[in-house]
């Protein structure tokens, strides 16, 4: 009997324990369901709260001489927002005075573009050369070579429209051309082909505030305008934002037959470089005309010296067997200007840089006024649309050192015999190049 009583007591105790455990399980389950419900509530409530905040939708399009940006407001109205050029020639769009009064503005403010949402501190390229950066409630827009902006507002829906005009439109700037005309009149050379590097989908270097293709086009236009105002024949290879293959650029120069070919590019640093043909051709390559090489080298040395004198920057001449230098029949140089992110190109600095280049051209070609050979246009190249390599001079005269040694030997023979040896016809052809 005592054992049965103990068994009954044990069973009753276990029964109560199991009942209590089931109650605890229900309690825990209830708490779990409540927490899950709260999570769902927050998950659905967050987007709803965000949708009720301030949103700016931005789109941009290129219209020839300008870029138009349209900002559309959602959750607020453009009333006191401003857009202006800062000291770095970037556009600062300040939305604080309008969005600051909107509900949940700072918590849910978003900037939406066709390329996605603009995140704080990050950059999105609206177009190939138009960058957009978000800083708090301020937007920074970078466009290369901005001349001016014009802003106006529209309603239903509320919009801010910004028209951005380019500084390259100053290509007919008579003030700059007049200031540099006295320098340009000192040039011995009469005809120029000016090439703006890159173009179209070939951007070149892309900086914070510029794209190389836009900067080179603007600078090349100004240089050509200055040369033209001084009575020189200046031809632009590229007149707009277009792709021109290297072979075609060379063909254009060979068809025109200029006194010199100048290609404008941008450096990745603050220094400047002028590229010229090598002193000796590449292994298996063709020897270059003596006149072409000597003119290119003199001009490059002179431009480098004038840049260093004018701006106290590092500038140097570099030899490279680039196709545009080797295959153009005229003397040719590539000028790599200091990077616009590292070097200020305000109106005065651009004029000084142009002045350094023109003075370099004048000093480097001072001896060409009476001795420069005529570089005739090549009508065959224009008809065929092909590039012909420059004719190969006689091998024995392709080296200055060899020619000087031969000249010294001739002089020695003349002194010894008292008679002058017959001239080498091959040499006469080389001297006339």
CATH number at residue 356: 3.40.630.40
Which residue among 142, 167, 192 closes a domain? 167
Which residue among 138, 167, 196 closes a domain? 167
**Order of strands, sheet of 110-113, starting from the edge strand that comes earlier in the sequence:** 116-117, 110-113, 55-63, 66-74, 159-166, 146-154
Shared-domain flag, residues 338 and 273: yes
Rounded to whole angstroms, the Cα distance separating 77 from 135 reads 20
CA distances for 184 relative to 87, 176, 226, 345, angstroms: 32, 12, 7, 21
More confident residue, 7 or 80: 80
Shared-domain flag, residues 223 and 328: yes
Residues 88-112 have a mean pLDDT of 77
Residue 174 has pLDDT above 70, yes or no: no
- The dihedrals phi and psi of 277, each to the nearest 5 degrees, come to -65, 150
Name the DSSP letter for residue 125.
E
pLDDT in tens, 122-164: 888 888 678 889 988 899 998 877 878 899 899 889 999 998 8
Residue 176 has a pLDDT of 54
Which residue among 381, 407, 425 closes a domain? 381
Residue 2 in domain: no
CA distances for 186 relative to 1, 257, 333, 366, 367, angstroms: 134, 21, 19, 9, 12
Shared-domain flag, residues 211 and 77: no
Shared-domain flag, residues 368 and 272: yes
Shared-domain flag, residues 63 and 133: yes
Residue 429 has a pLDDT of 28
pLDDT in tens, 367-418: 554 444 445 565 554 443 333 333 333 332 233 443 444 445 444 444 443 4
Shared-domain flag, residues 291 and 222: yes
Residues 329-357 have a mean pLDDT of 91
Token pair recorded at residue 419: 């008679």
Shared-domain flag, residues 195 and 324: yes
Shared-domain flag, residues 127 and 200: no
Domains of the chain: total: 2
- Domain span at residue 202 reads 173-381
Shared-domain flag, residues 151 and 178: no
Residue 161 in domain: yes
Q: Are 279 and 319 in contact (CB under 8 A)?
A: yes
Shared-domain flag, residues 364 and 243: yes
């Amino acid at each position: 009997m005592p054992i049965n009583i103990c068994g009954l007591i044990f069973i009753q105790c276990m029964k109560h324990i199991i009942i209590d455990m089931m109650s605890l399980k229900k309690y825990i389950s209830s708490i779990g369901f409540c927490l899950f419900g709260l999570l769902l509530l927050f998950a659905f409530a967050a987007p709803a709260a965000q949708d009720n905040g301030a949103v700016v939708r931005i789109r941009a399009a290129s219209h020839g001489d300008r870029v138009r940006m349209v900002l559309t407001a959602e959750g607020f109205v453009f009333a006191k927002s401003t857009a202006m050029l800062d000291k770095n020639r970037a556009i600062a769009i300040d939305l604080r005075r309008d969005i600051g009064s909107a509900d949940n503005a700072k918590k849910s403010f978003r900037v939406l573009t066709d390329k996605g949402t603009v995140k704080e501190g990050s950059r999105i390229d609206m177009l190939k050369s138009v960058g957009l950066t978000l800083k708090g409630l301020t937007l920074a827009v970078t466009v290369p070579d901005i001349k001016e902006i014009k802003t106006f507002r529209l309603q239903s829906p509320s919009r801010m429209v910004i028209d951005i005009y380019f500084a390259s439109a100053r290509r007919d700037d008579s003030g700059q051309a007049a200031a540099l005309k006295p320098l340009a009149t000192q040039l011995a050379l009469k005809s120029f082909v000016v090439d703006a590097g890159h173009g179209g989908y070939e951007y070149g270097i892309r900086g914070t505030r510029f794209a190389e293709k836009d900067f080179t086009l603007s600078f090349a236009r100004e240089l050509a305008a200055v040369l033209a105002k001084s009575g020189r024949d200046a031809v632009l290879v590229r007149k707009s934002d277009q792709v021109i293959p290297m072979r075609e650029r060379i063909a254009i120069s060979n068809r025109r037959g200029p006194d010199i070919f100048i290609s404008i590019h941008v450096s990745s640093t603050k220094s400047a470089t002028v590229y010229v043909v090598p002193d000796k051709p590449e292994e298996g390559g063709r020897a270059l005309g003596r006149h072409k090489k000597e003119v290119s080298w003199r001009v490059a040395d002179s431009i480098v010296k004038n840049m260093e004198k004018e701006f106290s920057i590092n500038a140097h001449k570099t030899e490279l067997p680039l196709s545009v230098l080797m295959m153009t029949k005229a003397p040719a140089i590539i000028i790599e200007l200091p990077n616009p992110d590292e070097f200020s190109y305000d109106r005065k600095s651009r004029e000084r840089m142009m002045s350094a280049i023109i003075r370099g051209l004048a000093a480097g070609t001072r001896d060409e006024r009476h001795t420069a050979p005529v570089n005739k246009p090549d009508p065959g190249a224009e008809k065929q649309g092909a590039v012909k390599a420059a004719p190969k001079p006689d091998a024995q005269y392709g080296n200055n050192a060899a020619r000087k040694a031969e000249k010294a030997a001739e002089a020695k023979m003349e002194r010894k015999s008292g008679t002058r040896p017959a001239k080498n016809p091959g040499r006469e052809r080389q001297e006339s190049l």
